[in-house]
Structure formats: C-alpha cells, structure tokens
Amino acid sequence: MLLSIGTMGESTAPPPTRRRILQEAETLYVLRGHDGFSFGDIASTIGITRANIHHHFGNKQRLMEELVEGFVTDAEARIAHHWTRPGYSLANRLTEQRDDLRRFYDRFNPNPGDRHVWSPLSRLRLDLPVLGELAARALERVSRTYEASLDSAVREAVVSGELAADLAIADAVRVLRVTLLSCGPLTQDRGGFEEVDQLLAALARLIGIEPPEAGQPGLTRDRARRKLTYR
C-alpha cells in the first residue's frame, strides 16, 4: 500500500479518515513492528478517537490483514513496473529498482546514520513469529512475483544481446531475487544506503551490465545499447 509514497495500480483511494489511519499505521508498523504500536498511538497522532479506528477496522487483526495485503499488492505492482515493461534494458531496470528502494529508505531514515527498518517485507520477516501464516503467505507471494518478473527481464536481455547468450538464466534470476530481497538488513548493518549501491553495482558488473546510476532517466533498450556502444 505505502500510500504516502504512492501506490501503483490502485484505482480508488479510501475515504480521508480511513486513509489517514492506514498511512499512520503503515509508518508505525514498519518502524516498530506489530507489538510496537496501538490504536491509541494512531489516534493520538492523527487526532481522532480509538473508537473511530475500531469503526473502520474493527480490531488490530483486521487492520494488520489490510496492511499486509496492501504491502503485497503494492510490492507486486512495483516489481512488475520495474521488471516487466517491454523495451527497457536490464541495466535501467536495476537502476529504477535501486532508486525505488532508496525512496523507501529515505522515508524511514531521514537522518544520517539512522538504522531503522524501512522495508515492509523486512518487517514482515521480523514479525513471522507474531503474524504467522499472514506474513508467510505475503512473503511467498512477493518472492514468486520477483522470480517470474526477473525471469522475464533476464530472458529479454539475453534475446536483445545485453546479456551473454550462454548465461545461466535460472542462476542469474536467483541471485538477483535474493539480492533485492536482502537490501533492507544491509542498511541497518552499515547505517546507510551506500552498501546497497555498492552491492547492486557489483552484481551488475558480475552479470555483464552497466552498474546502476542514480538519477538517470528511463532508457529504452535501444537507447541503452547506444549508450553502451558510444560512451
């Protein structure tokens, strides 16, 4: 969901009060986890009563179910956007994905040296003992979406000549998927996003594409090939 960052593929927005509750619940959940916030915390922050939250969501379990579904739906849309749009180079797809991760990181880590959890998926992993099957199913859905989308992107890059024809596609997809799903903990280890930048750049070099470049406009595959040829 991540309403304050922007939800891809959502055609209708919830009513204003409900939307505000979800936005604050998203932030509190990612930063603190399931046991780290209450309806009272949400109510005091946005200036409503706890009864109002109960009116919209009933109980915390129902709120969490909606939050988790929103996280997964948003992740699936973002993954598809970055990795399955036709005509884009793999190098540019990786740049877009890195920049999207950076936006999440910056939202939850506004100060230099912050080590806050910023990935909803990372938080769901931490809350597996509490959320059980709800979190497990969500993580499996996102992993499957990454696998299918990355497979499509890698195969397209092989066909276009961006990647070597004899590339072990399944291995490349696995390494990409696991790397992208592991970016959250890396920033907490080092207290910054630089380790993610360096990791993705190293991965790009290993598979034979240009490393991600911050701030680059979207490149079609043909434009990316000219950039590689005439630099």
Percent share of the chain, pLDDT over 70: 86
**53 forms bridges with which residues in the sheet?**
none
Domain 67-229 classification at class level: mainly alpha
Q: At a CB cut-off of 8 Å and minimum separation 6, what does 85 contact?
A: none
**Contact (Cβ atoms closer than 8 angstroms) between residue 158 and residue 169:** yes
**What is the three-state SS of 167-210?**
CCHHHHHHHHHHHHHCHHHHHHHHCCCHHHHHHHHHHHHHHCCC
d(CA 51, CA 69): 23
Domain ranges of the chain: 67-229
pLDDT tens sequence across 82-114: 999 999 999 999 999 999 999 999 999 999 989
Percent share of the chain, pLDDT over 90: 79
Q: At a CB cut-off of 8 Å and minimum separation 6, what does 116 contact?
A: 31, 108, 109, 188
Averaged pLDDT of the chain = 88
**Contact (Cβ atoms closer than 8 angstroms) between residue 17 and residue 48:** yes
d(CA 118, CA 121): 9
Q: Which range has the worst mean pLDDT, 116-120, 147-151, 223-227?
A: 223-227
d(CA 197, CA 116): 18
Which residue type does 105 have? Answer: Y
Residue 55 has pLDDT above 50, yes or no: yes
Query: Mean per-residue pLDDT for 144-163?
Result: 97
Please report the pLDDT score of residue 214 as a whole number. 53
Residue 20 has pLDDT above 90, yes or no: yes
Please report the pLDDT score of residue 13 as a whole number. 55
Neighbours of 148 (CB within 10 A): 16
